[in-house]
């Protein structure tokens, strides 16, 4: 085997490969003819963040089997190109969790005790003890946004300081939260109750600019905000205004929308601590990610074991072609359920019938889970089941014979959470068209594609017309209108409308629909076209 380490790694990382008899290892400083030449007969490439593993670079590596990223982000790797070329792409999520958690705690303490100001005045020869009275962490409420590996490591350390822990994460079960001494709350409660708020979520459409003017206004006066996650989570102008007004008592920022920041609005603000993206920059963390990726690459090359892959299906080409429509369907059904309002998932049941009951369903299962967990960063069809397990979500699969007279191949997904149970069934028609067949016991055939409005209502006269009229008044064009009625015999009778529209609608349209007297709820859903 030939391994190319394209960037500097620790001696311990190198030792993992060097211990394998007959393996050739080239380091970044031993590529006399350049990286492209070194890759001509290489089996594995290991990078950090500087080397760009592009499609063009892969053209020079016909034997390459795996690209290992010593770190989490894979923005510098063309994963699609790697997939086309049959190259597995792996990363190392969580290896630097302790380093990031420790910096978050350090920043809390620095804000509480005004350490930067104390240090600066002492170096200036001043003794300003009276102006540097701080506060204790003990007895304060720490809100943790995101309870993945880093968020939970923060919680472990924060307990020792006597902080009351609350957290918000729709993808963590109540059991995991309880085990870590965290009270699960809604996002609104998190913002309203936190004395300190620390951010540990990835960047997704749902989390971008989540710290905005509206949410800042809902926070306690004097709240202190720590961000060691992604700069894009914060609407900078809104936070700067809140810091200047004193509504936010302080902030500690390790990440920025543009790095390195230039002419940042935070420069010069005395109640802001700025660090240059150093949360994961400890000797221990850097060594840990290097050793982890080396072991993963070694296990794949020797045994075919795939760990933390971001792109590799575990099916033959023929099997993949047959299952592809149902893999896609599963992702859409998971995303549909995720967007219709259920959070705090405790268990996921997947029921297959027809052809799916005889197939290898790992990718179908993972696609459904990835759709359900779409609010998390770096969740995909390869690692979805592992992420669910890590977050305390139980996953169960059941394969059944098709019901007589029913569709030949069905996929049903049932979720259980503290809020209750929800269930949906779907199929693929004509080999390529994903269709919803049932939602929470109500039969309704609707396309699982594009922009949808899922309306729950009491089954009374005039509701359909009012929905159409309201959408028309707001210039919204209806592409498909599917209806279903609860036939359980319960009173009052409830109904369901799944309305496909040409484009996403504003919150104003959603609010207008909710004003219709018989409407119980409206949820917008966005799926691939």
**CATH number of the structural domain spanning residue 491:** 3.30.70.260
Q: How confident is the model at residue 493 (pLDDT cuts 50, 70, 90)?
A: confident
Q: How far, in Å, CA of 481 to CA of 150, rounded?
A: 44
DSSP state of 188: H
pLDDT in tens, 358-381: 888 888 998 999 999 887 766 877
In the chain, the percentage of residues whose pLDDT exceeds 70 is 97
Residue 308 domain-assigned?
no
Tell me: do 34 and 174 sit in the same domain: no
Tell me: do 365 and 490 sit in the same domain: no
Structure tokens at 141: 């409420």
pLDDT in tens, 39-93: 999 999 999 888 999 999 999 999 999 999 998 778 799 988 887 787 899 998 8
Q: How far, in Å, CA of 254 to CA of 227, rounded?
A: 6
Residue 445 domain-assigned?
no
Structure tokens at 478: 């209806």
Tell me: do 299 and 322 sit in the same domain: no
Residue 122 domain-assigned?
yes
Predicted confidence (pLDDT) at residue 299 exceeds the cutoff of 60: yes
Tell me: do 128 and 240 sit in the same domain: yes
For the chain, percent helix, then strand, then coil, each to nearest 5? Answer: 35, 25, 40
Predicted confidence (pLDDT) at residue 402 exceeds the cutoff of 90: no
Dihedral sign, CA of 361, 363, 364, 366? positive
Catalytic residues: 230, 259, 277
Tell me: do 112 and 261 sit in the same domain: yes
Average pLDDT of every residue of the chain = 91
Predicted confidence (pLDDT) at residue 386 exceeds the cutoff of 50: yes
Q: How confident is the model at residue 432 (pLDDT cuts 50, 70, 90)?
A: confident
Domain of 78: which CATH number? 3.40.50.720
Q: How much is the pLDDT for 455?
A: 95
Q: How much is the pLDDT for 406?
A: 54
Could you list the beta-strand ranges (E) of 53-126: 66-69, 88-90
Structure tokens at 68: 């290992």
Backbone angle region of 459, left / alpha / beta, with phi > 0 → left and psi within -120 to 50 → alpha = beta
Tell me: do 85 and 40 sit in the same domain: yes
Residue 213 domain-assigned?
yes
Q: Which of 254, 274, 294 is the endpoint of a domain?
A: 274
Tell me: do 292 and 344 sit in the same domain: no
pLDDT in tens, 309-360: 888 755 655 777 788 899 999 999 999 999 987 677 899 999 999 989 888 8
Closest by alpha carbon to 289, among 54, 65, 98, 154? 98
Q: How much is the pLDDT for 404?
A: 47
Predicted confidence (pLDDT) at residue 255 exceeds the cutoff of 70: yes
CB 45 within 8 Å of CB 6: yes
Neighbours of 127 (CB within 10 A): 8
DSSP state of 53: B
Domain of 379: which CATH number? 3.30.1330.90
Number of folded domains that form the chain: 4
Residue 45 domain-assigned?
yes
Tell me: do 496 and 424 sit in the same domain: no
Q: How much is the pLDDT for 173?
A: 86
Q: How far, in Å, CA of 107 to CA of 112, rounded?
A: 8
Predicted confidence (pLDDT) at residue 403 exceeds the cutoff of 60: no
Q: How much is the pLDDT for 316?
A: 58
Tell me: do 121 and 238 sit in the same domain: yes
Residue 235 domain-assigned?
yes
pLDDT in tens, 132-178: 999 999 999 999 999 988 999 999 999 999 999 999 998 888 889 99
Q: How much is the pLDDT for 75?
A: 79
Query: What integer is the mean pLDDT of 476-500?
Result: 89
Residue 133, domain extent:
97-274
Tell me: do 202 and 346 sit in the same domain: no
């Amino acid at each position: 085997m030939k391994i190319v380490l394209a960037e500097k790694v620790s001696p311990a990382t190198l030792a993992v490969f060097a211990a394998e008899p007959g393996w050739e290892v080239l380091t970044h400083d031993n590529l006399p003819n350049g990286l492209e030449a070194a890759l001509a007969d290489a089996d594995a490439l290991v990078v950090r963040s500087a080397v760009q593993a592009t499609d063009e670079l892969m053209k020079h590596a016909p034997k390459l089997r795996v690209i290992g990223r010593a770190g989490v982000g894979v923005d510098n790797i063309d994963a699609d190109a790697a997939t086309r070329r049959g190259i597995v792409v792996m990363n190392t999520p969580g290896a630097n969790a302790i380093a990031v958690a420790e910096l978050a705690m350090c920043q809390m303490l620095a804000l509480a005790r005004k350490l930067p100001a104390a240090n600066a005045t002492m170096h200036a020869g001043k003794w300003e003890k009276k102006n540097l009275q701080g506060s204790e962490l003990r007895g304060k409420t720490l809100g943790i946004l995101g309870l993945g590996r880093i968020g939970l490591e923060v919680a472990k350390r924060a307990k020792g300081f006597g902080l009351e822990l609350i957290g918000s994460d729709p993808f963590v079960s109540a059991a995991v939260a309880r085990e870590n001494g965290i009270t699960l709350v809604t996002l609104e409660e998190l913002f309203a109750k936190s004395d300190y708020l620390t951010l540990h979520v990835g960047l997704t459409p749902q989390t971008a600019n989540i710290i905005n003017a509206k949410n800042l206004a809902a926070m306690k006066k004097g709240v202190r905000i720590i961000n060691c996650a992604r700069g894009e989570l914060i609407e900078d102008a809104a936070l700067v205004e809140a810091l200047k007004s004193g509504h936010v008592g302080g902030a500690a920022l390790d990440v920025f929308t543009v790095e390195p920041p230039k002419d940042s609005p935070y420069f010069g603000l005395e109640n802001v601590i700025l660090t240059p993206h150093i949360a994961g920059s400890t000797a221990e963390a850097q060594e840990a990610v290097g050793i982890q990726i080396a072991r993963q690459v070694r296990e794949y090359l020797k045994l075919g074991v795939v760990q933390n892959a971001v792109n590799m299906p575990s099916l033959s080409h023929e099997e993949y072609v047959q299952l592809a429509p149902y893999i896609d369907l599963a992702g859409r059904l998971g995303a549909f359920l995720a967007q219709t309002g259920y959070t705090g998932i405790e268990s996921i049941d997947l029921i297959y019938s027809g052809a799916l009951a005889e197939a290898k369903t790992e990718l179908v299962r993972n696609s459904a889970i990835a759709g359900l967990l779409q609010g998390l960063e770096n969740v995909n069809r390869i690692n979805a089941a592992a992420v669910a397990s890590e977050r305390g979500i139980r996953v169960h699969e059941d394969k059944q014979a098709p019901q007589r007279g029913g569709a030949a191949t069905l996929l049903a997904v049932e979720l259980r959470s503290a809020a209750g149970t929800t269930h949906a069934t779907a199929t693929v028609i004509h080999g390529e068209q994903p269709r919803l067949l049932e939602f929470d016991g109500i039969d309704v055939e609707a396309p699982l594609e594009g922009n949808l409005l899922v309306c729950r209502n009491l089954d009374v006269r005039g509701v359909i017309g009012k929905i159409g009229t309201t959408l028309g008044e707001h210039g919204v064009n209806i592409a498909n209108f599917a209806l279903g009625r609860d036939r359980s015999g319960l009173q009052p009778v409830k109904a369901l409308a799944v309305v496909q529209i040409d484009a996403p609608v504003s919150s104003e349209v959603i609010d207008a629909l909710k004003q219709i007297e018989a409407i119980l709820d409206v949820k917008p859903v966005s799926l691939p076209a």
